[in-house]
Amino acid sequence: MHNNISLNTVQNLGAIAEPIKPAVTSPSEAIKNFSSYLTDALNGVAAQESNVQRLNEQFLLGQANVDQVMIASEQALLSLQLTTQVRNKVIEAYQEIMRTQI
């Protein structure tokens, strides 16, 4: 059995070991990044829900398998539950910040 480790692999491992410099962002940039992340996540959840509706319609017409519908439904449900939990944690963090005395 031969270990085929190329020079590129070793160089890539060296690049991974280099320390990562933290990106310096202003508070407004951080808010924009977080806002765009949340917007993308919510759009993804909405897309999954519309996909489930489309698959349900196809299933009723006999154009989709029950497996496809169930998998898409569970994925959309898990995404919605994750979104709800993230929202709850954000609200808890906000409430904790508001309770902090200055």
pLDDT per residue as tens digits for the range 20-64? 665 677 878 877 887 888 888 889 999 999 999 999 999 999 999
The model's pTM is 0.63
Name 80's Cβ contacts closer than 8 Å, sequence gap at least 6.
45, 49
pLDDT per residue as tens digits for the range 65-92? 999 999 999 999 999 999 999 989 989 9
